[in-house]
Amino acid sequence: MAKRELWNSRKGFIYAAVGAAIGLGNLWRFPFQAYKNGGGAFFLPYIVAIFTCGVPLMILEYQLGRNVRGGSTKAFRTLGKKFEWFGWVQIMIPIIVMMFYCTIISVSVVFMVYSLAHAANIINWMDNPGQLMGIIVGSANGPFDFAAGISKYMLGFIVIVWLGNWIVVRKGISKGIEKASKLFTPLLMILMVVFMFNSLRLNGAAIGLNELFTPRFEKILNPSIWVAAYAQVFFSTTLAVGVMIAYGSYIPDKWDIVNSSFITVLSNASFDIIAGITVFSTLGYLVNNLGVDFNSFGNGAGIAFIAFPIAISTITSNTVLQGIIGIVFFLCLFVAGLSSSISMLESFTTGALDKFNIKREKLVTIISAVGLIGSACFSTYAGFNYILDIVDAHVGNYIIASLGLIEPILVCKYYGIDKIRMEANRYSDFKIGKWFDFLLKYVTPTLLGITVVSNFVKGIKEVNFSGLIYGWGTVAAMLICATIFYKKNWKMDRNN
């Protein structure tokens, strides 16, 4: 059996983990969660959630992965053979998410190319990016309107995105992901800090910051605010989808798990806040100068692909500089997306390599081909404008949250949370106490349980035909595939 590959440097591992946690969603999800849920008052439950859910679960996943030297499938098989199925469900999530996530990344590549054309004065589009966005994503009359067509822009550029995933992940941990992360993650942070400081100098930035940070303390006792805060921390740190267990499985024995967990979670939280400042400073400018309101660009991709180009066009009247700034900004989005998608691909790859005797290069090629086909489906006008949101909502609100609830319960009962704590403390400068056990035994399951129940109650009230077909249909397909892989024979003689 081949010796398992390990991270070459702790810095490279941290960059990879932080890059996995930071993604396109940070740019708009956190700012609008804070905005909708009490403004500055949202930061109290958010900070509480970081330390009672984010950090403990990160420690658990890193340590569990390192202990068993395997991804989710092997980790949960260690708890009991029947729990291997749970591991397969976990790593099916990144495959589904990657299929639509890569279409969003492809849009950033399209805008990057158009920014180049803008700089060359071939086409001036930044004062009206909504028109370009409309050309790229098209329109459809509903989720079943496949006659509306497919976006040749997204279809062409998702090939580049998947090629990037394939090139990096097929090379493995140290030669692929670690090397790429050492470039991508620092670049991403530098770019976002630059954009944050630039947004602060815009006329009207203070208006946006007041909207984001002014506390509405009357909302602090509303349970939904706390549910939203825990959901934000949970989803933005890429927990319960096999990524951090996979990354943990490549950590050398004597590295500090506790400090690494704090660094990963707090770095992601810092990016959330940087994104919040950047987004609302920019929106403040647009509100002040264009007379629009804060919801004019929605709370999703509209922020990145519509609001920011308008803001860029106001920084300078020089077309060349506008184009260059646009290239840098959309490069930033591309890097954020690719660093996350690489980690998703590795999550499934690690889990499958642990069980099956297949070469990494071949497995990554197969997954990338299947993922590319899936992304092509989301590149249809109906797929991008309707099906994407349906699938995202069902996978995120029901499956990821449910797995996050079940994971600490299984580990506490069948592995022993005290064992995780003692093993994590062995090589850590900062020792975690029994508060760690208490959080994962009682606090985290309780709060995530509330989140899961709330999501299911809301989902039942809003159920419709398209949700049944695309949403629950995707969930059913995931569970079926997980069952098929689970029932395959476990081959200990593997080459990974």
- For tokens 């642990």, the residue is 354
pLDDT of residue 492: 59
For the chain, the average pLDDT equals: 90
Both tokens of 18, joined, read 């932080």
* pLDDT tens by residue, 343-395: 999 999 999 999 998 999 999 999 999 999 999 999 999 999 999 999 988 99
Q: Which residue has the tokens 């100068």?
A: 289
What 8-state DSSP symbol labels residue 384? I
Burial of 423 (0-12, 13-18, 19+ CB in 10 A): middle
pLDDT of residue 167: 94
Q: Is the pLDDT of residue 298 over 90?
A: no
The answer to which of 101-110, 283-292, 295-304, 477-486 has the lowest mean pLDDT is 295-304
User: pLDDT value at position 487?
Assistant: 95
Which stretch of 154-158, 267-271, 373-377, 444-448 has the lowest confidence by average pLDDT?
A: 444-448
Phi, then psi, of 380 in degrees rounded to 5: -70, 155
Q: Which residue has the tokens 């606090």?
A: 443
- Give pLDDT, residue 2: 57
CA-wise closest residue to 7 among 127, 179, 169, 131: 179
- Per residue in 444-458, pLDDT (tens digit) is 898 888 888 888 888
pLDDT for position 494:
43
Residue spans of beta strands (DSSP E) within 391-489:
none
Question: Which residue type is seen at 185?
Answer: T
Task: Give the relative orientation of helices 308-315 and 319-355 as an angle to the nearest 10 degrees.
Answer: 140
Average pLDDT estimate for 194-209: 90
Scanning the structure block, which residue is given the tokens 């998947």? 162
Contacts of residue 221, defined as CB under 8 A and 6 or more positions apart, other chains included, come to none
Look at 71-85, 219-233, 239-253 and tell me which has the smallest mean pLDDT: 219-233
**pLDDT band with cut points at 50, 70 and 90 for residue 332:** confident
The pLDDT confidence band at residue 313, using thresholds 50, 70 and 90, is confident
| Cβ–Cβ < 8 Å for 229, 49 | yes
34's enclosing H/E stretch is: helix 24-36
357 three-state secondary structure: coil
In Å, what is the CA distance from 200 to each residue of 110, 281, 283? Answer: 27, 6, 11
Instruction: Return the beta strands (E) in 99-198 as ranges.
Output: none
For residue 1, what pLDDT is reported?
47
Instruction: Specify the higher pLDDT residue, 291 or 356.
Output: 356
Which pTM value belongs to this model? 0.92
φ/ψ of 69, rounded to 5, equals 50, 55
The third-level CATH classification (topology) of the domain covering 10-487 is: Amino acid/polyamine transporter I (1.20.1740)
What digits encode the pLDDT tens for the residues 400-426?
A: 889 989 999 999 999 999 999 999 999
Listed in sequence order, the DSSP H helices in 356-433 are: 360-378, 381-382, 388-394, 401-410, 417-425
Q: Is the pLDDT of residue 321 over 70?
A: yes
Q: What is the mean pLDDT of residues 117-124?
A: 93
- Residue 113's beta-bridge partner residues? none
Rounded CA-CA distance 285/281 in Å is: 6
State the pLDDT at residue 493. Answer: 45
The pair of structure tokens assigned to 116 is 């180049």
% of the chain residues with pLDDT over 90: 59
Q: How far apart are CA 257 and CA 61, in angstroms?
A: 10
Q: Is the confidence at residue 20, as pLDDT, over 60?
A: yes
Least confident piece of the model among 440-444, 481-485, 489-493: 489-493
Would you give the DSSP letter of residue 250? T
User: Of 151-155, 211-215, 219-223, which range is least confident?
Assistant: 219-223
In this structure, what are the phi and psi dihedrals at residue 117, rounded to the nearest 5 degrees?
Answer: -65, -35
Please state, in angstroms and rounded to a whole number, the distance separating the CA atoms of residues 153 and 360. Answer: 30
Return the SS3 of 493: coil
Whether the predicted pLDDT of 495 surpasses 50? no
Q: Name residues whose C-beta falls within 8 Å of residue 51's C-beta, 6 or more positions apart in sequence.
A: none
Higher pLDDT, 291 or 134: 134
